[in-house]
Amino acid sequence: MSERLQKVLAHAGVSSRRSAERLILEGRVSVNGSIVAALGTKVDPARDAIKVDGKRIAAPPAGHTYLMLNKPRGVVTTLSDPEGRPTVKEYLRGVKARVYPVGRLDFNSEGLLILTDDGALARDLMHPSRGVEKTYLAKVKGQPDPDVLLRLSRGIPLDGRRTGPARVRLVRRADNAWIEITIGEGRNRQVRRMFQAIGHPVQRLRRMGYGGIGLGRLPVGHVRALSDDEVGALARAAGRVVARPRRGRPRSS
């Protein structure tokens, strides 16, 4: 099936679609050995040899489904539950593909959850070596002091080893503060346990970002398909980067 070249590049994780257009205009993309410098060129990623800066890109998986769910609290991140609790499957009515959650959000957590039938991408996103970033908004008990948040950002002992560096930001001062935290690890209930360790247990936890894409304004309990640029962002977060756009203005075609 033929698709626009910039769409194929974005879906393969090379760059965003806009940046892919810049790559094409700069003459950095070739198809079957010929430089392509015109937008709108169509290719068949399953048959054509597409290269960026001389490096062949992997053909994006065909026919896969990529979804985002704003998971409510009180829902299990599985497709079935022996205890009879609500599962994310209840929010997938009408989805024909057999999609599975990428990672987990615990029963009392909410927010961004990726679901896909692309097993290879899911494995890469969850592999500890990738360090895929996840951003959370946490309402914690009390008001942590700045030095405590600094210590949290530098890493604290957990399970006998220190957590990795984190980005931590006070979002709202209150009797029970709201803190934004971004981590590149995926230990079990890690964010909750980190705040527990500094004496400010989590009262509410919402995941806002995963692998470079954000929850945005998706209502709680709703599902939507990911855009090509979002799929590309996940591919890059999983380590499938091929090329980076150069700085400077693109030359005319």
- What span, in angstroms and rounded, lies between the C-alpha atoms of 13 and 10? 5
Q: What pLDDT is attached to residue 247?
A: 40
Dihedral of CA 66/67/73/77: which sign? negative
Instruction: Specify the CATH number of the domain 133-210.
Output: 3.30.70.1560
Query: What pLDDT is attached to residue 94?
Result: 86
Residue 133 and residue 221: Cα distance in Å, rounded? 23
User: What's the pLDDT score for residue 59?
Assistant: 65
Whether 57 and 242 have beta carbons less than 8 Å apart is answered as yes
Contact (Cβ atoms closer than 8 angstroms) between residue 232 and residue 249: no
Token output for 181: 């935290």
Q: How many residues does the chain have?
A: 253
70: its two tokens: 């704003």
Task: Select from 41, 31, 35 the least CA-distant residue to 3.
Answer: 41
Q: Is 214 exposed, middle or buried (0-12, 13-18, 19+ CB in 10 A)?
A: middle
- For residue 236, give the amino acid letter: R
On whether the 3-62+233-237 domain is CATH 3.10.290.10, my answer is: yes
In the chain, which stretches have pLDDT less than 70? 1, 59-62, 240-253
Tell me how far apart the alpha carbons of residues 149 and 225 are, in angstroms, rounded to a whole number: 35
User: Domain boundaries in the chain?
Assistant: 3-62+233-237, 133-210
CA distance 36 to 29: 6
pTM value? 0.77
Strand partners of residue 70 = 112
Which residues are tagged catalytic? 106
The pLDDT value recorded for residue 97 is: 87
